[in-house]
A and B are shown apart, each in its own frame.
Chain A
């Protein structure tokens, strides 16, 4: 059973609009949570990482939030651009070993229309 659930599965927005993607996880014990951006036909690229004590992290127009109590995270994209069209993947790292195990969500496919 996938322990990282993302919603929505897909999303279409107009250029310039904002959007928020959701990630709920059940992974325990928790080490950190990352958001990756994966362009079509490419490998994922890390956008943000948050540890247990952090509840917000920004990277340009991307802002991630984390509520470790409710085990929820969100990725907010401001003033979307056509180049934001991609799959956004939520990845949770546990503390089971030195590097931990990575739990991947299935991603939210974002399409930005002109």
Chain B
């Protein structure tokens, strides 16, 4: 079982609210990722980080932002949530630089914006 945690697990909020989804890992992994997943659909990469103070946008355009001030934390923030942001958000981390290194996923945060 991977030591990667996400909070909250479920979140229901109103439109316009600012939210932060937390992701932390205790494995000392340099690389961390945020994915968005809708029911029955594939995961889409929205942000990734290769280390402290390094963040990049992924393949899917997202209005969210991320930060990487500490190795173990990779929070995702939505300044003004909208119903279109309703989705499951999965955080992952990876140890090495090889393409065969495993990405370990957190349990996800299911976000519903009313």
Contact = CB atoms under 8 A, between A and B. Distances in A.
A100 B106 contact: no
Contact of B99 (A4, A41, A98): A98
Contact of A41 (B4, B102, B103, B107): B107
A51, A98, A109 pick with most chain B CB within 10 angstroms:
A98
Interface stretch (B11-19, B70-78, B90-98): B90-98
Interface residues of A, number: 27
B105 A102 contact: no
Interface residues of B, number: 28
Contacts of A107: 40, 42
Given A2-B42, A4-B42, A99-B94, A42 B99 contact: no
Contacts of A104: 42-44
B40, B43, B91, B108 pick with most chain A CB within 10 angstroms:
B43
A109 B2 CA distance: 23
B45 A102 contact: yes
B31 interface: yes
B97 A99 contact: yes
A73 to B, nearest CB: 16
B35 to A, nearest CB: 8
B82 interface: no
A71 interface: no
Contacts of A4: 42
22 contacts: A31-B99, A31-B100, A32-B99, A32-B100, A41-B110, A42-B107, A43-B92, A43-B105, A43-B106, A45-B105, A46-B102, A49-B100, A49-B102, A51-B100, A89-B42, A98-B99, A99-B98, A102-B45, A102-B103, A104-B42, A106-B40, A107-B40
Interface of B: 2, 4, 9, 31, 40-45, 59, 90-92, 94, 97-108, 110
